[in-house]
Structure 1
Amino acid sequence: MDVQQLRVLTEVARTGSYTAAAQVLGYTQPAVSYQMRRLQQAVGAPLVVRVGRGLQLTEVGHVLVRHADAIFSVMRAADQEVASVVAHGGGLVRVVAFQSSCVTLMPRVIQQLGAARPDVRVTVEQAEPVEARRLIRTGEADLGLLCNWENEELPEGEETMLRLELMTDRRFVVMREDHPLAGRPTVDLAELAEANWVMESFRDRFVAACTNLGFAPRVVATVDDALAIQALVASGLGVSMMSELALHAHVFPGLACRPLSNWPLRRTYLLLWPDMLQVAAVAAAVRVIRATAQEVAAAGPTIGQAPPSGG
């Protein structure tokens, strides 16, 4: 099998057609068709079948695409390792991370990595876990900071990649200090059935939990910036839910943050292709990220403590 033929296959799988794959790769459509015929002849089995006006991978096609991703990962690792050796261990590390890790973990990581390894450069792109996973699989990012809930199964697409657990954090209710529930050590979601909510766009789990409790949440604002959420809550517009990790960075004056009871912990982890650990710059970044996450987890937050009685 030819590496270029594997690239054609992965692009056909991604776009769903020879024509679209040709446009992305800069080939003609007949050239893509020829490469696919040669690859199917080498494999000895069909890799795609036509479904309606599009193409769908066969089982053999899915297997080959999965291995192609791993092959491309090895090639990228080799390319970066060579560049790192040439640069005496330095190099570029492309990180993709979810929002609250960009606010809390990544600034510390960049500072510490810059002090310990000034030859290592870092770029950061914010993305939700689904998009981050795709960027890592395709090699558009070297490693990712992702998160999921402790009771969830392994997300699809991570089976062949390396997953390094970093820390867990809780979900908090964010409200004004004069809210009737602000004096509680913890808050139950059912107690907020009549509340107005300031929430992020990605809130499927929150809506499902409210539905299971028998109410539809009244969302009065949709905001995807942590400081904007806090500002709106502080104005009296409503209450919100935020991760413990995001609240480590900053809490607006006048706000109370209380742990949400009966809610699963969120797990933060690193995701990368195993071969990327052979790249000196990536390995250095991984060490600093893991150490930073341990420091944050060990620090222990004070944001969840209710004010003393009469205080």
Structure 2
Amino acid sequence: MLDVRQLEVLAEIARTGSYTAAAASLGFTQPAVSYQMRRLQQAVGTPLFTRVGRGLQLTPTGESLVRHADTIFSVLRAADQDIASLVARGGGLVRMVAFQSSCLTLLPQALTSLVAEHSDVRVTLVQAEPVEARHLIRTGEADLGLLCNWENEDTPEGESAMLRVPLMTDRRCVLMREDHPLAGRAAIGLGELADQRWVMESHRDRFAAACTNLGFQPQISATVDDAHAIQALVAAGLGITLMSEMALRGPLVPSLVHRPLRDWPLRRTYALLWPDMAEVPAVATVLRAIRRAAQSY
């Protein structure tokens, strides 16, 4: 029978890359960590790590066991949440993580109805980009996440064992002042904007690559990660920007207009959680509220 404590130690060694770092993270002594790993390897009957330089690398058996450990931890967290919800007569705390534009529109809409209909369910929220959000869900630091990727991308690494719930798709749009020469167009191609100045977020690798493929280097006037600040700077004439339709469903500066960006993939928004967490009443209630809100987009 596998020991949960030994699996926790194994997962931490895999995450940190050494017995010493895992011991410091878990508050154990290094000999205690070594002892737990000896016991686990004896129980499994084969090595779980090989030494590579100064670090450790999981063997195929070790990798498999870490994947199973993640699932086991998910079940235990779901059990904790389920019991807490039963004690609270259907209520409970749901820890969420979500990307920026969903925090502007989709989530406020969902949470408004949730508060009105299920006041016993509490939600805490952290804003994070999908890479960080995925890590928080995988490690159990968040129960439910809203993530996004592009329709032409494969399932991101690390999500195969988790539950993905499709919610909606939206387009990328060009946001500009209403007096911009291209404001009267129905849609705009990125190549038509080669001579423009831009107000952009720091996460813009796809945008930069697309510009390079079209043969130009974008003129970045400002790098800002707050949607309201971006709108203010565009309205002030510092440049144009790209925003998702979801974000543009929120408050928009009156002097601005947006037009779809032609030949750009749709963005997919989805909920991500461990399968067992979907059975927790409080989590299921929040997910239903989000799905209802997404249907209006």
Q: Which TM-score applies when normalising by structure 1?
A: 0.94
Q: Structure 1 residue 221 and structure 2 residue 232: aligned?
A: no
Residue 155 (structure 2) aligns with: 154
Residue 76 (structure 1) aligns with: 77
SS at match of 1:141: coil
Residue 110 (structure 1) aligns with: 111
Return the alpha-carbon distance in structure 1 between the equivalents of residues 6 and 174 of structure 2.
52
Return the alpha-carbon distance in structure 2 between the equivalents of residues 187 and 245 of structure 1.
18
Residue 271 (structure 1) aligns with: 272
Which letter maps to 2:105? T
Return the alpha-carbon distance in structure 1 between the equivalents of residues 46 and 179 of structure 2.
68
How far does the alpha carbon of each residue in 1:233-267 deviate from its partner, in whole angstroms, 9 at most, with x for none? 11111110011100100211211111000000000
Give the superposition deviation at 1:63: 0.9
Residue 63 (structure 2) aligns with: 62
Residue 252 (structure 1) aligns with: 253
How far does the alpha carbon of each residue in 1:29-87 deviate from its partner, in whole angstroms, 9 at most, with x for none? 11111111111111112111111111111111111111100000000101111111111
Which letter maps to 2:267? R
Return the alpha-carbon distance in structure 1 between the equivalents of residues 114 and 134 of structure 2.
24
Write out aligned runs for 1:35-184 (5 A): 35-184=36-185
Structure 1's consecutive aligned runs of 4 or more residues displaced over 6 angstroms after TM superposition are none
Structure 2 runs not aligned, ≥5 long: none
Return the alpha-carbon distance in structure 1 between the equivalents of residues 116 and 177 of structure 2.
39
Return the alpha-carbon distance in structure 2 between the equivalents of residues 151 and 277 of structure 1.
27
Residue 294 (structure 2) aligns with: 293
SS at match of 1:249: coil
SS at match of 1:233: helix
How far does the alpha carbon of each residue in 1:115-153 deviate from its partner, in whole angstroms, 9 at most, with x for none? 111110000110000110111111100010000000100
Which letter maps to 1:119? D
Return the alpha-carbon distance in structure 1 between the equivalents of residues 47 and 127 of structure 2.
38
How far does the alpha carbon of each residue in 1:87-131 deviate from its partner, in whole angstroms, 9 at most, with x for none? 111000011000000010111111111111111000011000011
Give the superposition deviation at 1:229: 0.5
Give the superposition deviation at 1:232: 0.6
Which letter maps to 1:274? P
Which letter maps to 1:148? N
Q: How well do the aligned residues superpose, as a CA RMSD in angstroms?
A: 0.7
Residue 243 (structure 1) aligns with: 244
Return the alpha-carbon distance in structure 2 between the equivalents of residues 39 and 194 of structure 1.
61
SS at match of 2:294: helix
Return the alpha-carbon distance in structure 1 between the equivalents of residues 162 and 109 of structure 2.
26
SS at match of 1:56: strand
Return the alpha-carbon distance in structure 1 between the equivalents of residues 180 and 87 of structure 2.
59
Residue 23 (structure 1) aligns with: 24
Q: Percent identity?
A: 71
Return the alpha-carbon distance in structure 1 between the equivalents of residues 198 and 54 of structure 2.
44
Which letter maps to 1:287? R
Deviates more, 1:226-235 or 1:41-50: 41-50
Q: Which TM-score applies when normalising by structure 2?
A: 0.98
Give the superposition deviation at 1:156: 0.5
